[in-house]
Amino acid sequence: MKKIVVWAHRGASGKAPENTLAAFRLAQRFGADGVELDVRLTADGVPVVMHDDTLDRTTDVNGELHTFSLADLQSVDAGSWFAPRYAGEPIPTLDQVLRWAGSYFRLNLEIKEFAAGMAVVGLLERFPGCRALVSSFDYALLEALRRKATWLPVGFLSAQRHWVESIDDAVACGAESFHPRQDLVLPEQVRLCHARGLKVYPWVVDDRQRFKALLDMGVDGLFTNDPGQVCRWRDHSAPAG
């Protein structure tokens, strides 16, 4: 049985504040192969790591992210909402994450907006050794990114029940992987993806029964909020060598 790739969804987000370096370091310590993170732009065009388009849910301030400059964000606390011990944890810039990951730890950068995608490509060009995959639900965005940077690996996110069309889109935009919602994954979907040269990385898997079912279907990896637990399941599922 192949060893699947464990992507920590927003880092070890079940144990630390999501999309922070604390969560990414913890995911690495737990044995994850890489982290998934979300990239948005500040008012002055700097790529930072944040899922929501507002700061309300995961920081100590309110407001739309795109109205804050990078300097404005320096004093924002992105950790205490999760637990007091993370008080003062900052919103990381993508540059900081790329420097931390180096050339050995994998990154899956989810992009929601065209401008952020273009900025990410510009930044990745300065880190030729990084192991970054860019993913999005937006076919046109991925297609544009591939036109601008043919060297860039991309993954196609999907929450569609009509998955044959989604797989067609993934192939058409040059994706190397297909990222379906985990509850929509079927064995025939995985087989079709593999036949068309796509790896399959479902999201988000924290349940052991579903983990085992997906493993039996032959997925290549998955996203989880609890990489420590999933890495233990994976390692116990692997045949003795």
Q: H/E/C letters for each residue in 60-89?
A: CCCCEHHHCCHHHHCCCCCCCCCCHHHCCC
What radius of gyration do the chain's Cα atoms show? 18
- For the chain, list the domains and their CATH numbers: 5-237 (3.20.20.190)
Distance (Å, whole) CA 220 – CA 218 = 6
Residue pointed to by tokens 């690996």: 153
Give pLDDT, residue 1: 60
Task: Please report the beta strands in 146-198, taking only residues with DSSP state E, as ranges in sequence order.
Answer: 154-158, 177-180
Give pLDDT, residue 237: 77
176: nearest Cα among 196, 194, 153: 153
The reply to whether 236 belongs to the active site is: no
Q: Is 201 left (phi over 0), alpha (psi -120 to 50) or beta?
A: beta
User: Residue length, the chain?
Assistant: 241
**CA angle (47, 142, 148) in 5-degree steps:** 75
Rounded mean pLDDT, 67-83? 98
The reply to whether 9 belongs to the active site is: yes
Distance (Å, whole) CA 205 – CA 211 = 6
Q: Which among 51, 66, 162, 236 is annotated as catalytic?
A: 51
- The tokens for 191 are 């087989």
Q: What is the mean pLDDT of the chain?
A: 97
Q: pLDDT for 167-194, tens place per residue?
A: 999 999 999 999 999 999 999 999 999 9
Q: Which among 9, 66, 162, 236 is annotated as catalytic?
A: 9
